[in-house]
Amino acid sequence: DTAVSQTPKYLVTQMGNDKSIKCEQNLGHDTMYWYKQDSKKFLKIMFSYNNKELIINETVPNRFSPKSPDKAHLNLHINSLELGDSAVYFCASSQVPSALHFGNGTRLTVT
């Protein structure tokens, strides 16, 4: 069983569209995250939820809206996609203060 699973794995869309990425973890962790990895492989945190409560929002444009319906799920909705949003988005979970467990990523390409 996959511990942290994201869908879709690849997402190709045009500028201006709205898209969502879904994430689920079956590890029983309290905290979930979204990270963005840019073309230079740099990883930066976007959001963190702890027991469905938003804990971290790292100066991400308002076009990005996370939602956590329960502590096992964390989705990311992106409005009005821009070219600069092209990246790999990783979902992760942890039981603080242990290590993060990462999903396999969603490669978003905006054309």
Residues that bind another protein (CB under 8 A): 4, 30-31, 33, 40-45, 48, 50, 53, 55-56, 90, 92, 94, 96-105, 107
In the complex, minimum distance from the CB of residue 105 to another protein, in angstroms, rounded to a whole number: 5
Gap between the Cα atoms of 53 and 2, Å rounded = 24
Give whichever of 45 and 72 is closer to another protein, judged by the CB atom: 45
Gap between the Cα atoms of 51 and 44, Å rounded = 21
In the complex, minimum distance from the CB of residue 80 to another protein, in angstroms, rounded to a whole number: 26
Gap between the Cα atoms of 5 and 84, Å rounded = 24
